[in-house]
Amino acid sequence: MGNILMLFLALAIILFGATVFTNGLEWFGKKLNLSDGAVGSIFAAIGTALPETLVPIIAIMFGTKEAGHSIGVGAIIGAPFMLGTLALFISGVAVIFNRKQRDDYPVMRVDHVVMRRDMEYFLSLYSLAILCTFLTHPILKVFIAMTLFMCYGAYALKTIKGTQNHAVEEADLDPCYFAPKSHDPHFALILSQVLSSLFLIVWGSYIFVEKVQVLSAEMGISPFILSMIIAPIATELPEKFNSVIWINKGKDTLAIGNITGAMVFQSSVITAIGIMMTPWQLNHAAFVTVLLTFASIGLAYAQLRIKRALTPVTLLAGGLFYALFLVLIYLGKL
C-alpha cells in the first residue's frame, strides 16, 4: 500500500513540477521579447514535453538494466498512444457537450492544413522510429535517431514560419506563479521558478521509476505495461485537459494542435532518445499499442484528407481503441 501511495505522490510531484515549469518557461520567453507565436510553439511545447522526456531518461539511467529499459520504452510508447486515443476521445466528447454553442456543428473549427501537417509528420516519423527496431547495426540506428532529431527541427521551424504568415489561436498566459501579482516579474524570480520546478520533475521521476520497478515485481505485471499506462497520466493527460477548455472557447485548432504537436515531438525527439539509449527491441505489446495508435490517428487523418474537415465522431473512435487495449491486458494477451 505504501508503494502505491508513493507512486501517486511521485505522479503528483511530476504534474505540479511540470505545471510550474511550463509557466516559468513561458514567462522566460516573454522576458526575451519573443513573439506570442514563438513562445507558444517552442517554449510552451518544451515545458509540456519535459516530463515525458525526463521519465524515460531517468528510468534508463537509474533503473535496473532490464526493468529500467522496459519502463523507459513503456513511457515512450505510452505517451503517443494515450494522446492519439484517449486525449482525442476526450476532445470529441467536449465538442459534443458544447454542440449547442456551435452553429457549424458537427464540423470542428480546425485549420485542416495545420492538422494534416502535424499528422503527416507524426505518421511518417513514428513509422521510421518503429522501423528502427528491425535494424541491428548501431550506426544505422544512430543515423535514424539523428534524422528524427533533424526532422523535428524542420517541423519546429515550419511551425514558427507558419505563425508569422497568418494569425493563429493563442492560449492566455497565466501570471507568473512566483510573482502572481506582478505584470512584469523580475528575471531572477522567473529563473528560480524554472530551476526549482525542474528539480521537482527530476525528483518525482526518480521516485516514479523506483516504485514502478517495485510494484511490477510485487504484482507480477510487466514494467513495460505498468509504465505505459501510468506514466502518461502524469506526463500527458492532465495538460491535455487544457484542450477541453480551448474547445469550450471555440479554439479547436489550438485544442487539437496541442495534442498533435505533442505527438510529433514524441515520435521524433523522444523515440530518438529511446533508440540511442536502449536496444530498442519492441515487444508484442509495444507493436499492438503502436498499431492502435496508427489506427486512431489514421482515421482522423483520412477524414481531414478526404473531407477537409474533422468531426467529433471520428475522435470518439480513439476511446474504442484505448478500451480495446485495456481488454487485451485484462485477457492476458499483452
CA dist 51 and 198 (Å) reads 9
Distance CA 166, CA 152 (A): 21
Rounded Cα distance between 219 and 330, Å, is 14
pLDDT value for 95: 95
Q: Indicate if the alpha-carbon torsion angle 167, 170, 176, 181 is positive or negative.
A: positive
Residue pair 110/259 in contact by the 8 Å Cβ criterion = no
What is the distance, to the nearest Å, from the Cα of residue 120 to the centroid of all Cα atoms in its chain? 16
Closest CA to 234 of 67, 109, 50, 92: 50
Taking the C-alpha atoms of residue 307 and residue 109, their distance in angstroms, rounded to an integer, is 14
Please check whether residue 253 is in contact with residue 109, taking contact to mean a CB–CB distance below 8 angstroms: yes
pLDDT per residue rounded down to tens, the chain (334 residues): 788 899 889 888 888 887 888 788 778 877 877 655 555 556 666 666 777 778 888 888 887 778 888 889 999 999 899 999 999 999 999 999 999 889 889 999 988 888 999 999 999 999 999 999 999 889 999 999 999 999 999 998 887 776 555 555 555 678 999 999 888 899 999 999 989 998 998 898 889 888 888 888 888 888 888 888 888 876 776 667 778 888 988 888 888 988 898 899 999 999 999 999 999 999 999 999 999 999 999 999 999 999 999 999 999 999 999 999 999 998 988 8
Cell of 46: 518544451
Q: What is the pTM of this model?
A: 0.84
What is the Cα–Cα distance from 17 to 22, expressed in whole angstroms? 9
Q: How far is residue 217's CA from residue 203's CA, in Å, rounded to a whole number? A: 22
How many CA atoms lie within 13 Å of 119's alpha carbon, on the beta-carbon side? 23
